[in-house]
Structure 1
Amino acid sequence: MAAWLGLNGVLLIAAYLLGSTPTGYWVAYRVKNVDIRKHGSGSTGATNVLRVVGKKAALFVLLVDILKAVAAITVVRGTYESIGTLGAIAPVEVLQVWQPWMVTLAGLAALLGHAKSIWLMTGSARSPELTTGGKAVASSLGVLLALSWQIGLATIAIFALVLSISRIVSLSSMLSAILISVLMLGTHQPLPFCLFAIAATAYVLFRHRSNIDRLLSGTEPRLGQQVQPSD
């Protein structure tokens, strides 16, 4: 039992560290020698990178932020399947019950790492006011794709549709986040997946508080409006 609990702890730490990779911060610093957290919305996510750095950098950040969340889920799922095959550490029945819970917890750990990256709290990147990362939309999509690729693709389709009509990334992100909960509950996914969907929806909406204010005031930037880094 101790070995099994220890393994789960290691897996969650690994998921957090994968999620903590501050892709947007590193790319912006590398390409334009700026701290992305001091420009635009202050987020290290792909949307702010698009405004401050450019399209190619934003696309790279988007892909990596999705893939790091997928990797966190894949590591946990692969480990559980491996130890289940070997019959080690815990009975197969126990592993089957706990796998969806651990997969979900790993996804949440990756999202926590994205929003509160350990790499932004240490070393040269550290600043008392600048310890947050992105708004976890791309990483949430990565977790969703790893949990249910069908729902993930449906969410992408809705995001693209809303974006093509509104040209507002934040609005598309929030509506997509709401859809996640609707689809997870509507298709009767495992309980941990449904709880993740509800938590992810609430979290994305919470992280977009300032965007909601700008949407209501009509000042939210539309796609293509670039923010120039200040000196």
Structure 2
Amino acid sequence: MDNFSIIKDSLPSLLSGLAVTIKLTVISLFFASILGLVFGLFNISKNKVLKSIAVVYVDLIRGTPLIVQAFFIYFGLPGALDIKISAMFAGSLALSLNAGAYMAEIFRAGIQSLDKGQMEAARSLGLPYSKAMRKVILPQAIRRMTPAIINQFIISLKDTSILSVIGIQELTQSGEIVIASTYKSFQIWGAVAVMYLIIITLLSIISKRIERSMNI
């Protein structure tokens, strides 16, 4: 069987794995954005308790590898709490928590990059802090943060490959399964690399176009 036929026959399985990869990335980035916003706001808060919680979360997650976090959630928590967790749930949770810590720093930096006079002007007009943040500060900050958010999306997409260690059949795991039956490592890993490259290149192009359209 020639190389083209091997890749062609393997394509359905690889595409299925790619779909799981994209699903994992989208789910995790959705929840990571929420976590990032919450802990980013905690980090700039004048409340020392909230600020301390944000610092601990960010330092703890950024200070440990994603693979350790995935193992802890998938193997550690069920053993300690006597519960069952699916690999997909554990992977999504690990990736969300991991990306959330980096998103928190993106939100913090984005908000703090704005002139302090923006908030002062909004407050002087009678807007409460929460409304001023929601209506004035965040829209401007998100505009500046967009390239960094897309970059985090790319990083999270690549990080999904790590989750194959807990049995999630994403793109990398699908490639391993195909190789086990075909013994064609070079061809299959080449196809997997090309698929990652295409998706990441498209995201990079989108990021650059957004930057140009926003004049960032």
Please give the TM-score of this superposition, normalised by the length of structure 1: 0.29
Q: By percentage of residues, which structure has more helix?
A: 2
Of the two, which has the highest radius of gyration?
2
TM-score with structure 2 length normalisation? 0.31
